[in-house]
Amino acid sequence: MVTSHRSRVVVVGTGSVGSAVAGAIVLQGLCDELVLINHNPDKAEGLAMDLMDGSEFIGRFVSIRRGDWSDCRDADVVIVTAGPKPKPGETRFQELGAAIDIVDPILRAITRSGFNGILIMVSNPVDVMSWFAWRRTGLPRAQVLGSGTALDTSRMKAIIGEITRLDPRMVSGYVIGEHGESQFVPWSTVSFIGKSFTQYLQDNRERYEGVTTEVIEERTRERGMAIKALRGGTSQGIAATVAGLTRTILWNERRVIPVSTLIDGEYEYDEHDVFLSLPVALDADGVGDFVDLHLTGDELAKFHESARVVREHCVLIADRLRCQS
């Protein structure tokens, strides 16, 4: 007798990011069923119809429909993308007040459904929202994560690829810390075509005149705002990133990816009760083993600063957790 498990993914929020995430999941055929939830049901219904209209030309059929909170109960993965529409020049932390007003009721509804899968937070500021989601839902720490610096890591590699005109996937390294201004690249751990990236730049100074690790890091940090200035917001990069996280979880790939996760005394990091991005093994159970990067003293100081920035913003919304209704 053949038995099978039908995988279900729920995407909450069908704005520009949620729509792009849903599209990426469907195009890659990552699950059996995709359920869309939006505060305006017509928006979710319309997106489901639009995505279904391309079924003839997609490699794997995915059932797509509008849903409600009860659909979260049996979902393997729930992805929260809902948030306020970004305003030009506004930082992620400046969105915090409006974001929590939108996200808190969503998390309550997900919890009431009896959901016990993997919760992926995409709503910004994602590290603060991930911490809040973990506290609000009561899910085990392994089952709550944020997209974090997975996107920033891809951006850093893409920039190196643009500069060197080589495949960015040959870069081995991560952006870690906060998904925001205090994020950083621990260059002591970054390698490229068999050598450290700093050594690669030194060996090719004439070819890459004016290119430094500081320049690449700053371009990475500013990439999101640059895209917002050009087209009003980001969607495709984060969609590919979240689809990649979803695939890694559903297909039990056990890839090492930097995601926003609870840091609570691991290794040399010496931080507690804060969500930040570090490379971790992702699989069907969610967040697994941490990678100890053996950061330098300067890099550890940057990591602690990132933790301070995120923690002080968590304090601003902690009072919401005392309200249970």
The ranges assigned to domains in the chain are: 8-146, 150-317
- Any known ligand binding at 124? yes
- Any known ligand binding at 38? yes
- Written as one letter, the residue type at 212 is T
CATH superfamily of 8-146: NAD(P)-binding Rossmann-like Domain (3.40.50.720)
Residues 276 and 146 sit within 8 Å (Cβ to Cβ): no
Q: Which two tokens stand for residue 182?
A: 């205090």
Architecture of domain 150-317: Alpha-Beta Complex (3.90)
Residues 256 and 195 sit within 8 Å (Cβ to Cβ): no
The maximal CA–CA distance of the chain, rounded, in angstroms, is 65
Answer yes or no: 179 catalytic: yes
- Any known ligand binding at 182? no
- pLDDT over threshold 80, residue 116: yes
So what's the pLDDT on residue 2? 47
- Any known ligand binding at 153? yes
**Which of residues 5 and 63 earns the better pLDDT score?**
63
Residues 278 and 286 sit within 8 Å (Cβ to Cβ): no
- Any known ligand binding at 233? no
So what's the pLDDT on residue 268? 86
Distance (Å, whole) CA 42 – CA 323? 30
Q: What is the pLDDT of residues 78-90, one digit of tens each?
A: 999 999 876 666 6
- pLDDT over threshold 80, residue 4: no
* Ordered alpha helix ranges (H), the chain: 16-28, 41-52, 96-112, 126-137, 150-164, 197-203, 213-231, 236-250, 297-317
So what's the pLDDT on residue 323? 73
- pLDDT over threshold 90, residue 91: no
Same fold: 8-146 with 150-317: no
Q: Which two tokens stand for residue 169?
A: 């996937």
Mean pLDDT of 222-227: 94
Report the percentage of the chain scoring pLDDT > 90: 88
Give me the catalytic one of 5, 39, 179, 304. 179
- Any known ligand binding at 122? yes
- Any known ligand binding at 261? no
Whose CA is closest to 18, among 34, 30, 33, 5? 34
The structure tokens 């850093």 sit at: 156
Q: What is the pLDDT of residues 266-284, one digit of tens each?
A: 888 889 999 999 999 999 9
Q: Given 3-state DSSP classes, what are the helix, strand and coil percentages for the chain, each rounded to the nearest 5?
A: 50, 20, 35
Whose CA is closest to 186, among 309, 292, 308, 312? 292
Q: What is the pLDDT of residues 10-28, one digit of tens each?
A: 999 999 999 999 999 999 9
Structure confidence at residue 65 as a pLDDT band (50, 70, 90): very high
The structure tokens 């689809």 sit at: 243
So what's the pLDDT on residue 94? 73
Backbone angles phi and psi of 36, in degrees to 5: -110, 130
Segment holding 251, helix H or strand E? none
- Written as one letter, the residue type at 171 is V
Please give the C-alpha separations between residue 13 and each of 50, 86, 108, 122, in angstroms, as whole numbers.
Answer: 16, 14, 15, 10
CA triple 229-233-238, angle to 5 deg: 130
